[in-house]
Structure formats: C-alpha cells, structure tokens
Amino acid sequence: VVDGLVASGDVILSRKGRYRLTDAGEESASQTPSVVIARLDGRPRSWFVESLDPAYKQRIDLVDEPRVPLGAVVEVEILGTTFAGATGRVKRLVEAGGEAARAAAAMLAAHRIPSVWPAALDGVDVPSSVPRDVANARQDLRGMPLVTIDGADARDFDDAVFAVARRDGWRLVVAIADVAHYVKTGSALDREARERGNSVYLPDRVVPMLPEKLSNGICSLVPREDRLAMVCDMRVTRRGRVSKHEFYEAVICSHARLTYAEVGRFLDGERIEVADDVAASLGALHEVYHALRFRRDERGALDLDTRETSIQLDDDGMPTAIELLERNDAHRLIEEAMIAANVAAASYLESRKGDTEGSTPPVYRVHEPPSAEKIEALALALRLAGERLPNSSPTPAELGAVLAGARSKSSWPSWIWETLVLRSLAQARYEPRRLGHFGLALSTYAHFTSPIRRYADLLVHRMLKGERTSLDDLEAAAAHISMTERRADDAGRAVDAWLKCVFVEQYVGETISGTVAAVVEFGLFVEIDGLFVQGLVHISKLGRDYYNYAPESMTLVAERSGARFALGDRLEVVIEEVSVATGRIDLGLKSPVGGRRRRRGRRRAG
C-alpha cells in the first residue's frame, strides 16, 4: 500500500477477499461472510439479491430459482466471489410480509439485534401488582397528582412529573420506574437486558430491552395503578437553578396518562379533561420549564431544533405518508425536567463517591467538544454566511451565537444549518469518566430517567441504591451499551430509508422541486419538497460540461459554461430510480430554479 493513496478505513479488494485498512496501518481481514441477510430482486432465470449487511453491501447472483416472493427478505449462503461479483443460494425465508415487517426483520437481522427472548426467561416470575409490604416500606406519594406525558402511541411509561410553586421557586418531582427492584444484577433478566442494551423503536414495532410483562406491565407507570419508583425531588429557584435535590424510593400512582398534544393545547390556554390538582401541577410545570429554559440559555447550551419524521403505515405495513413531527412546549417541558433530574443523579453520585470506600464513578453520558477538523468544515460554511467563529475550540455558547447570526443572514433554510452543525458534533457515548456534555453545556451528566428502555439508566439506579460495581465491569458495560445504542440508531435509519424509498417509488418519472442539501465532488444531494428524503443528482447528470468541486465555496462549477451549483439552491429534479435495498434515490436534473451563472472572460491567445 502506497502511503497517501489508501486511507484508514478504505476497503481493499484481493483475490482472497476484502480487507479494511486499520488506523494502525495493518490490513485486517474483512473476509466475505458465509451468510448474509438480503432482499430478493430480479426476474425468472436472472434472480439476485442485494445484501443488507452493513459490512458487505453487494449484489449476489442466485444459482437456483428461489421459492420465495419478490422483495422477500432472505438469508443467503454465499457460494463464491470474484471481481465481477458474488453467487449464492437462498437458505431460508426471513420475512415475506408487508414492507414494514420486511424492513424491520431485515435490519434487525443484518445489524444482529436480539429480538427473540431466550428460554432462560420463560420461568421468570414477574408480579402483576405491587405487594403491600413493599409499598409500606417506601415513601408514599400515591396522593401526589403525578402524571405521565408521552406520545400518543407510547406504552412503556418511564417517568411521571409533578410541580408546585413555593415562595422561592418550585418543588419539582420526577418519579422514574424502579426497574432495579425487579431486575437484579446478574439475573437472567439482567443478562438479557445488558446484551440488548436498549429498546429499539421502529415504525411498526418496538423491540424492548425488557419483556413486555415488565416494560408494559409492572414497571410501566400506567394510570390508577400502584407502581414502585425512584424519585428525584428537587427545589428549583426562580432563575432555574436546582438548589437542592434528594433521591428516595417511593410508591406512586399516576393520576393521568396525558399526551404531548393535549398538554400542548392546555399550555396554549385550552381546557382539557383533567382534575383540578392535575391542572394546577401542569401550570406549575410550565412555570418551572420557563425557569429551567432561562438557565439553559444562560449557560449557553446549543439550541438545535432538529427535524424528526414519522412514517405512517397502513394495515398491511405499506408507507402511506412521511410526516414532520412537531414539537410543542409539552415536549420541551418534559425534556428540561428530565435533564434536571439527570444532572441531579450525576451530581448526587459524585458527591457520594468520596464518602463511600470502594465506590466507583457513575456511568456518565459524555458528549465531547467537536474535533478541530469538524470545526474547520463548519467554519467554512459559516464564512459563506458572513460569520466567523472566535477560535478553533468554540464553547457551545460561542457556537450558538455564531449560528444564530448565520441563520439570520443566510438565505439557506434553517434545517441546512441544523444539519451542518450536527455533522460537526461528536457522537455522545457512555463513559465512567466525567468528560462533560458539550451540547447541553454541562460539566456533569448521566442518564437516569429511562431505565425501562436504556441499560445505562438501570446502572445509575443501582448506584443510587448503593450498589457497587468494579471499574473494569463499568468500563465494559459502558463500551457495550454505547455500541448497542449506535447499532439501534443504524438499524432505525436503515428501516426508515427502506420505507421512504418504498414510498417514493410511486413518484418515479415525476418532476418535483427540491433544495440542494449537500454538495460533494460526485454530485448534489437534493432534499425533495414535502417528502423529507434526499436523492443524488450525479455529476454526470448536470449537463454537457466538466464540473470542478470548489471546497472553499462548497460549489460545483462548470468549466465551459460557468454554471454553478451551491448549497441551498432550488432545483427541479426528476426522480429516476429508487433502490429499496440500498436506500438510494437517483435523481436527474430537469432545470435549475434560480441557479446562478458567472460570466467567464475569453482566454487571450499566446
């Protein structure tokens, strides 16, 4: 390998298989797998599959006639590989149901996400109600009008909240499902929960971290049922500072199961059907939110209003719409209350660390500052909008201030700026070291509020109860659950891409407007209006000219005509081809809308 011609992470083809260059400069074998998960395509006498394995994206020609329907998800045995491709045989059918079922089954298998409960859990006894003696041994908050506020489709209710005004601020109570009471360290339930690491949320299903009799049953804070909880009881000042916090075990009874939509209407002044004490608490929660939000802005946390989409499905699992999810003050209220409780948990465990012999640090939620390379890439875009970062290591507050200026000056839609900033940020992870949370502008942070769906939170609950863990075990657990979180995110994105491609297939051949979301050396990524999906206009489809990528202006510029394509340009594109298996949408250029050209001077002879 010639230094400089092949970079770390590049895939090298050889007669023996595929190799990936590591950071250590060695070739580590990434041999062709013997079996892959794939999607059936083709036609009689020319059947093939597209591998869905993230590490082996390749077409595989089938040597036998498959006895499964077109589009089915199958397990394929690879028989041989050449430079021309691979051959294989269908071993078994994985899923042939609706598109959503196929997408979910495919990506769960391809990303090796456990979705079948082991036989060891069959005999696990899980109570259906809280025993009286257990309830009597705890602080009784059943009279407190705690409520859950979640999405309309939620079934696993981790958290309930309550607030009341005090002379110097508010009392804010965040009650979290006491999963640690039921899932003991080292038990079969615990081993499976740790292996899964987290629940996985897909458009047609949830793959829970815990069996449903726990996640949707005895642990879930359903209304009008006694439940065990770990409580974070806080005092919040008028300026949004948590001046005092304490943690204790309690028995609670949720007074209402509310949704973000109905609480949002209540906060906007509409009447909803709730008891007077619940209404009073919701009003106080809104006041606490504004105080916590003031403190968030004061410390300079990043304010990224990122877009999330929801894929609507019919009864057969076919996507019928792609909708943009709207956030209201109810979402933000819960978010700030959970952040306050998470900070309190980390602070409490830190304060105990020095007092308890042999204690270990918490499992922190870590979000490190962006790298210098990522900041430089973002700084380039900011300079195009007339803004400059003060230095190469900006604080969240400095980055937020410059971003606000760029948003106001630039003609680009706000979502482009959100995307650029997100690309510059490091990926959050779990660590037994306190490295801070850059995005939230916090020096300490942990996850405490979702133990039904995150193993990290379950670990924190056990620590709050005084359980000790060796540092080696903690480091191993943190690394593992960081991996399972990435795995779940990757699978979720892949399922979304699959279903979005299926939805877009109906528009193949149509001309539609879009916005250039990214400019790269090989073409333009264009976001299609109203569909919230991106496709590629390859550089070969931009016209009869030779285009050069200009990194300083993030543009593609034609040598002869001077035609110029830039981030944020409005274009008319034709949806030419959609590949469900690869999640790829190919676009052609119809005609630029408001495209810019520059006049070129004639070269002088001689």
Within 39-145, residue ranges assigned H as helices are 99-110, 132-136
Sorted by sequence, the CB contacts under 8 Å of residue 441 that are 6+ apart come out as 296, 299, 300, 301, 302, 395, 396, 397
**For the chain, how far is it from start to end, CA to CA, in angstroms?**
43
Q: What is the DSSP string of 243-269?
A: EEEEEEEEEEEBSEEEEHHHHHHHHTT
pLDDT in tens, 574-588: 999 999 988 999 999
Average pLDDT of 308-317? Answer: 95
Calculate Rg over the CA atoms of the chain: 27
pLDDT tens digits, one per residue of 505-538: 999 999 999 999 999 999 999 999 999 999 999 9
Average pLDDT over residues 367-389: 93
Reduced to 3 states (helix: H, G, I; strand: E, B; else coil), residue 193 is helix
Say yes or no to pLDDT of 154 above 80: yes
**Which of 6-20, 100-114, 381-395 has the least mean pLDDT?**
6-20
Name residue 162's beta-bridge partners: 173
One-letter amino acid at 603 equals R
Mean pLDDT of 390-408: 93
Q: Do domains 36-96 and 508-597 have the same CATH topology?
A: yes
pLDDT at 21: 35
pLDDT computed for residue 321 by the predictor = 97
Reported confidence tier of residue 595, pLDDT bands at 50, 70, 90 = very low
In whole angstroms, what is the distance from residue 474 CA to residue 455 CA? 12
What is the CATH code of the structural domain delimited by 508-597? 2.40.50.140
User: What residue spans of 425-550 are helical by DSSP H?
Assistant: 455-464, 471-504
Torsion of CA 379, 380, 386, 387, to 10 degrees: 0
Task: Please give the sequence-ordered ranges of beta strands (E in DSSP) within 370-463, or none if there are none.
Answer: 429-431
Give the right CATH number for 36-96 from 2.40.50.140, 1.10.287.110, 2.60.40.10, 1.10.10.60: 2.40.50.140
Pairing of strands 205-207, 200-202: antiparallel
Domains in the chain: boundaries: 1-31, 36-96, 128-359, 372-422, 508-597
In DSSP terms, 366 is beta-bridged to 429
Question: What is the pLDDT at residue 85?
Answer: 82
Give the pLDDT band of residue 84 (cuts 50, 70, 90): confident
Q: Does residue 47 sit in helix, strand or coil?
A: strand
How far apart are alpha carbons 357 and 499 in whole angstroms? 53
Please report the pLDDT score of residue 95 as a whole number: 87
- 222 CB neighbour count, 10 Å cutoff: 17
- Which of 67-76, 217-226, 467-476 reaches the highest mean pLDDT? 217-226
Q: Flag the least confident range among 29-33, 75-79, 146-150, 174-178.
A: 29-33
The pLDDT > 70 percentage for the chain reads: 91
Burial class (CB in 10 A: 0-12, 13-18, 19+), 285: buried
CB-CB neighbours of 584 under 10 Å = 13
Output the six-digit token pair for 31. Answer: 């041999």
Q: Stretch 311-335: mean pLDDT, rounded?
A: 96
**SS3 per residue for 121-174:** HCCCCCCCCCCHHHHHCCEECCCCCCEEEECCCCCCCCEEEEEEEECCEEEEEE
Which is it for the CA torsion 457, 460, 461, 467, positive or negative? positive
Query: What is the residue-averaged pLDDT of the chain?
Result: 90
Tokens at residue 393, please? 């290591």
The pLDDT-based confidence of 83 (bands split at 50, 70, 90) is confident
Split at pLDDT 50, 70, 90, the class of 591 is low
Per-residue pLDDT band for 302 (boundaries 50, 70, 90) equals very high
Q: Assess whether pLDDT exceeds 70 at residue 604.
A: no
Mean pLDDT of 311-339: 96
